[in-house]
């Protein structure tokens, strides 16, 4: 009966295919000592030079940071800073910075805020992108509450807390008593200027309530030209952030004394935030941050160390691979 | 003897109701006293079971076979006797219940299942096996001469009894491996992703602002990391079917739950959390607060979010590539394809008008792609996040290999076709596990 079943059995067999029989041609790598050591070596050979290059690039960047929020409050008002900042007193504050190393133009001027949570969920949502883009959508102020309309129902353009809290400290720079002009054009991203902020949208009813949150806007300029606003409205990711204020387009020599005249208007005192003025150059890797260089070198060094360690182990204990006496359930 | 359930050298314990006194009771005239028969039969069965138990405990190094027939089974399955029967049966290498009714088959299966709390498998081909097949955890039906009832009530259907070997050793082993790998990896990738968001919350005063654009997050498990997991769960193999059959001890990995122990699950989870930690803190430290590109613009929310997400997608997919040892065209397409899909998505989504793409509008083309810092940060973060696992895996593969790794090494070194070496491997890998092991290894070597 086996013979008579033979042809019938074969005719019921499904057609063979490599895919259904799970016999596809396959690459079956295994972590041999050769692979392990060479991977670690390659990583270290690639990382350490990159780290050194990054570190040099970062060292090349010259950065001057000046924290001014406490110093720019006159001594007699220091025990009630909030009252000072909200009061009518003159807010001019003069600071001096010394350039330690030659700074090639363009030198970027930033303001840095610490402890300002631009990434708070309610804050981030408090804007109306439609309104910013189109003049005819000026009434769509839905997400902007409570900074959406004036008490008599007129829409605020631009609405929302982000715009309302616009940073309004200003800086006037001079070198050796000569004024340094700050170019405030081109400080925002092009896509924001051209596609998110409309050319025909003008500020209306802005910052005219009882509670002033920040700066005023020139109502004769369309939003696409209000670069300070555009920069401010591109919210930062972290509570310590810098935003571009402008660029200085002359070289600053070592030893130059830069006088800064700050209008210290912005209230960070209610929440004990910090304000800093930063002058920095930039190169292909951005601004000054040693972390990248150090981290690259560290990881490269760690991998090199691991390569050495593994080489030693493989040399000292050349165990025959495939030896099952090392199976965990045999070792008890 | 034909199927090696009984072998030479096994001691047999036979429990029947053929003793003279019971036969006499049954043939008593004028009418057999049912109550007396029942009582005597039960007593006889209990005696035989107790005698068998004493034998098993006396000759601990021998293999025993218990043979019991249907009539005795009636009494052996009674509530007060069944524990004794089960204890004896479990102590024997083979148990043969002959002439049992379908109901008894089911009852025996249930007894073993609930008494030993182990996974039971039943195989049968006829309508009388239906009860047993349904009762067992896994019912294997054989389609054929006796019709399709067994197949219809089974969990797995095969065409011939001999296919059971392949079913268990190849497909059973592979399925166990695939499912446990898939679940561990799934936890890993979601922890790696979710913890970056969680760490970010600490920087937003826990206000609930996510680190990434909404659509990035929604599509994480759909487009960017789903295909490799599917490939892992459906196609992965540690060794080919040839070696699964050649080294049946590989099946013990499943029986002893070596691939899904708490240690392994928690290990993968820890890997996910560590990965997220490295990705988040390195990205954040490297990208802020200084200027990001040549024009001095700082890295804001869209840039940091997209960079961190890129790192997560790369790490999670490369981790898959490091963890598996079986690469067909499918795995390659899925893994590298998923990474490519992320970039394509970023391009496509960024091209949509800002009313739809909000913070991701043009983010790749304008801010990420032209800036060296993006590539520097991504490359560095990805490699750093994978170094710990790579080091761990190198050590484990070399010094603490699992059984399937041992076989992979043998295959790699070309020793897998050397019969003596294989035999040595098989013998030395047999540990003190359950009774019947010597039987299985003898059966293996006999058929070879």
CA distance B381 to B45: 71
H helix runs in B154-247, sequence order? 163-166, 173-202, 214-219, 226-235, 241-246
Residues in B closer than 8 angstroms to A327, CB to CB, are: 401-403, 406, 429, 431
pLDDT score of B63: 81
Start-to-end Cα distance in chain A: 51
- Number of other CB atoms surrounding residue B171 within 10 Å: 15
CB A111 within 8 A of CB A167: yes
Whether residues A47 and B383 touch (CB distance < 8 A) is answered with yes
Whether residues B393 and A191 touch (CB distance < 8 A) is answered with no
Average the pLDDT over A171-179 and give the result: 89
Q: What is the secondary structure of B54-87 as a DSSP string?
A: HHHHHSTTS-EEEEEEHHHHHHHTSTTTHHHHHH
Percent of the residues in chain A that have a pLDDT greater than 90, as a whole number: 50
Tokens 């394509």, residue located: B344
Angle at CA of residue A152, ends A150 and A157, nearest 5°: 30
CA distance B266 to B130: 40
Write phi, then psi, for A112 (nearest 5 degrees).
-115, 135
Residues in B closer than 8 angstroms to A22, CB to CB, are: 235, 237, 241
Q: Which pLDDT band holds residue A228 (cuts at 50, 70, 90)?
A: very high
CA distance B361 to B263: 44
DSSP state of A281: -
Contacts of A133 (CB under 8 A, 6+ apart): A195, A196, A197, A198, A201, B354, B355
B147-161 residue pLDDT tens: 788 888 899 999 888
| Token representation of residue A1 | 């009966």
Mean pLDDT is highest, among A284-293, B2-11, B277-286, for B277-286
Q: Best mutation site among B143, B362, B377, B398 for testing chain A: the one with the most A CBs within 10 Å?
A: B398
Contacts of B61 (CB under 8 A, 6+ apart): none
Q: Is B155 annotated as a binding residue?
A: no
Q: Which pLDDT band holds residue A329 (cuts at 50, 70, 90)?
A: very low
State the average pLDDT for chain A. Answer: 87
Nearest alpha-carbon partner for A198 in A167, A160, A229: A229
CB A144 within 8 A of CB A160: yes
Q: Which pLDDT band holds residue B447 (cuts at 50, 70, 90)?
A: very low
Angle at CA of residue B197, ends B194 and B199, nearest 5°: 110
Domain boundary assignment for chain B: 119-161, 166-417
Q: Is the pLDDT of residue A236 over 60?
A: yes
Greater confidence (B413 vs B111) lies with B111
A76-118 residue pLDDT tens: 888 888 888 888 888 899 999 999 999 998 999 999 999 999 9
Nearest alpha-carbon partner for B297 in A167, A57, A251, A282: A282
H helix runs in A145-271, sequence order? 161-164, 190-191, 227-233
Q: Is B242 annotated as a binding residue?
A: no
Q: Which of B89-103, B237-251, B421-435 has the lowest mean pLDDT?
A: B421-435
Angle at CA of residue B124, ends B122 and B127, nearest 5°: 120
Report the length, in residues, of chain B: 448
Shortest Cα distance from A118 to chain B (angstroms)? Answer: 8
Selecting from B235, B282, B401 the residue whose C-beta is nearest the C-beta of A295 gives B282
Percent of the residues in chain B that have a pLDDT greater than 70, as a whole number: 94
B360-418 residue pLDDT tens: 898 999 999 999 999 999 999 999 999 999 999 998 888 888 888 888 888 888 877 77
B48-62 residue pLDDT tens: 888 888 888 887 777
A29-84 residue pLDDT tens: 888 889 999 999 999 999 999 999 999 999 999 999 999 988 888 888 888 888 88
Interface ipTM? 0.91
Start-to-end Cα distance in chain B: 18
CA distance B376 to B419: 52
pLDDT score of B358: 84
CA distance A178 to A180: 6
pLDDT score of B433: 41
Residues in A closer than 8 angstroms to B415, CB to CB, are: 322
Q: Which of A312-321, B66-75, B342-351 has the lowest mean pLDDT?
A: A312-321
Q: Which pLDDT band holds residue A321 (cuts at 50, 70, 90)?
A: low
* A316-324, long-range: CB < 8 A, 24+ apart: A319/B398, A319/B399, A321/B398, A321/B409, A321/B412, A321/B413, A322/B406, A322/B407, A322/B409, A322/B410, A322/B413, A322/B415, A322/B425, A323/B406, A324/B403, A324/B406, A324/B425, A324/B428, A324/B429
Nearest alpha-carbon partner for A95 in A181, A182, A169: A169
Q: Is the pLDDT of residue B195 over 90?
A: yes
β-pair type (B64-69, B94-98): parallel
Kindly list the strands in the beta sheet with B156-158, ordered across the sheet, starting from the edge strand earlier in the chain.
B121-124, B138-142, B156-158
Tokens 């982000």, residue located: A162
The Cβ-side half-sphere exposure at B179, using a 13 Å CA radius, reads 10
CA distance B262 to A238: 37
CA distance B43 to B72: 11
β-pair type (A274-280, A107-114): antiparallel
State the average pLDDT for chain B. Answer: 87
Average the pLDDT over A271-281 and give the result: 93
Q: Which pLDDT band holds residue A325 (cuts at 50, 70, 90)?
A: low
Whether residues B204 and A119 touch (CB distance < 8 A) is answered with yes
β-pair type (B121-124, B138-142): parallel
Q: Best mutation site among A12, A31, A309 for testing chain B: the one with the most B CBs within 10 Å?
A: A31
The Cβ-side half-sphere exposure at B438, using a 13 Å CA radius, reads 13
Q: Is B166 annotated as a binding residue?
A: no
B253-311 residue pLDDT tens: 888 888 999 999 999 999 999 999 999 999 999 998 888 988 989 999 999 999 999 99
CA distance B175 to B177: 5
Percent of the residues in chain B that have a pLDDT greater than 90, as a whole number: 50
Nearest alpha-carbon partner for A195 in A219, A174, A224: A224
- Which residue in chain B is spatially nearest to A28 when comparing CA positions? B326
Shortest Cα distance from B289 to chain A (angstroms)? Answer: 5
Nearest alpha-carbon partner for A291 in A33, A16, A51: A51
Q: Is the pLDDT of residue B125 over 90?
A: no
pLDDT score of B232: 92
Q: Is the pLDDT of residue A243 over 80?
A: yes
B326-347 residue pLDDT tens: 999 999 999 999 999 999 999 9
Selecting from B304, B355, B397 the residue whose C-beta is nearest the C-beta of A31 gives B397
Nearest alpha-carbon partner for B401 in B239, B255, B272, B235: B239
pLDDT score of B55: 84
Tokens 């491996």, residue located: B177
- Which residue in chain B is spatially nearest to A330 when comparing CA positions? B431
| Token representation of residue A250 | 């002359």
Tokens 């990896």, residue located: B185
Instruction: Reduce the DSSP state of residue B278 to 3 states and report it.
Output: helix
pLDDT score of B54: 87
Segment holding A242, helix H or strand E = strand A241-248
Q: Which pLDDT band holds residue B434 (cuts at 50, 70, 90)?
A: very low
């Amino acid at each position: 009966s086996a013979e008579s079943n033979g042809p019938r059995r074969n005719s019921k067999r499904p057609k063979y295919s490599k895919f259904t029989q799970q016999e596809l041609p396959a690459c079956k790598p295994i972590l041999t000592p050769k692979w392990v050591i060479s991977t670690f070596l390659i990583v270290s050979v690639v990382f350490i030079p990159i780290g050194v290059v990054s570190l040099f690039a970062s060292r090349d960047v010259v950065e001057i940071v000046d924290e001014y929020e406490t110093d720019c409050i006159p001594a007699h008002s220091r025990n009630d800073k909030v009252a000072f900042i909200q009061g009518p007193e003159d807010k001019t504050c003069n600071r001096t910075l010394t350039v330690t190393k030659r700074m090639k133009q363009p030198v970027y001027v930033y303001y840095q805020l610490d402890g300002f949570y631009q990434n708070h969920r309610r804050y981030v949502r408090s804007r109306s992108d439609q309104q910013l883009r189109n003049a005819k959508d000026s009434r769509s102020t839905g997400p902007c509450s409570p900074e959406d309309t004036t008490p008599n129902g007129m829409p605020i353009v631009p609405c929302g807390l982000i715009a309302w809290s616009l940073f309004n400290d200003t800086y006037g720079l001079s070198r050796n008593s000569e004024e340094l002009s700050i170019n405030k054009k081109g400080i925002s991203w092009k896509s924001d200027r051209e596609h998110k902020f409309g050319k025909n949208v003008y500020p209306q009813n802005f910052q005219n309530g009882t509670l002033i949150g920040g700066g005023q806007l020139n109502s004769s300029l369309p939003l696409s030209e209000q670069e300070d606003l555009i920069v401010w409205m591109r919210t930062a990711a972290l509570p310590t952030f810098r935003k571009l204020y402008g660029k200085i387009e002359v070289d600053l020599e070592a030893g130059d004394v830069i006088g800064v005249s700050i209008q210290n208007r912005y209230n960070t005192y209610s929440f004990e935030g910090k304000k800093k003025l930063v002058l920095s150059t930039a190169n292909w890797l951005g601004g000054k941050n040693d972390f990248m260089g150090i981290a690259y070198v560290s990881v490269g060094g760690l991998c090199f160390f691991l390569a050495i360690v593994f080489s030693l182990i493989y040399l000292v204990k050349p165990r025959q691979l495939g030896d099952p006496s090392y199976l965990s359930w045999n070792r008890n | 003897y034909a199927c090696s359930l009984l072998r030479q050298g096994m001691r047999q314990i036979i429990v029947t109701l053929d003793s003279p006194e019971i036969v006499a009771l049954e043939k008593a005239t004028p009418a057999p006293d049912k109550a007396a028969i029942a009582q005597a039969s039960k007593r006889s069965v209990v005696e035989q079971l107790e005698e068998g138990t004493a034998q098993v405990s006396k000759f601990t190094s021998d293999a025993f076979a218990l043979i019991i027939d249907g009539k005795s089974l009636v009494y052996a399955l009674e509530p007060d006797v069944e524990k004794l029967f089960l204890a004896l049966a479990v102590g024997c290498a083979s148990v043969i219940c002959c002439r049992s009714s379908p109901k008894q088959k089911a009852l025996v299966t249930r007894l073993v299942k609930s008494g030993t709390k182990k996974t039971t498998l039943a195989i049968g081909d006829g309508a009388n096996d239906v009860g047993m097949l349904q009762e067992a955890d896994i019912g294997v039906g054989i389609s054929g001469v006796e019709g399709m009832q067994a197949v219809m009530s089974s969990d797995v259907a095969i065409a011939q009894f001999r296919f059971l070997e392949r079913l268990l050793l190849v497909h059973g082993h592979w399925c166990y491996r695939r499912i446990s790998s898939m679940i561990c990896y799934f936890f890993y990738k979601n922890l790696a992703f979710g913890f970056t968001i969680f760490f970010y919350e600490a920087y937003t005063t826990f206000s609930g602002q996510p680190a990434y654009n909404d659509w990035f997050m929604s599509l994480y498990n759909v487009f960017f990391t789903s295909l490799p997991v599917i490939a892992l769960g459906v196609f992965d193999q540690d060794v080919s079917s040839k070696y699964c059959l050649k080294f049946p001890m590989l099946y013990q990995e499943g029986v002893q739950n070596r691939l899904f122990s708490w240690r392994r699950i928690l290990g993968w989870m820890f890997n996910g959390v560590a990965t997220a930690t490295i990705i988040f803190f390195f990205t954040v430290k490297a990208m802020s607060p200084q200027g990001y590109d040549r024009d001095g613009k700082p890295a804001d929310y869209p840039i940091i979010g997209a960079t961190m997400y890129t790192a997560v997608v790369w790490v999670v997919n490369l981790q898959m590539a490091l963890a598996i040892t079986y690469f067909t065209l499918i795995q390659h397409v899925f893994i590298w394809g998923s990474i490519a899909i992320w970039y394509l998505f970023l391009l496509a989504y960024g091209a949509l008008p800002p009313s739809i793409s909000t913070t991701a509008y043009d983010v790749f083309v304008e801010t990420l792609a032209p800036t060296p810092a993006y590539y520097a940060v991504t490359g560095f973060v990805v490699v750093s996040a994978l170094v710990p696992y790579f080091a761990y895996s190198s050590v484990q593969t070399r010094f603490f290999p699992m059984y399937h790794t041992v076989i992979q090494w043998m295959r790699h070194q070309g020793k897998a076709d050397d019969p003596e070496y294989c035999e040595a491997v098989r013998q030395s890998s047999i540990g003190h596990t359950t009774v019947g092991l010597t039987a299985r290894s003898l059966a293996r070597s006999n058929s070879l």
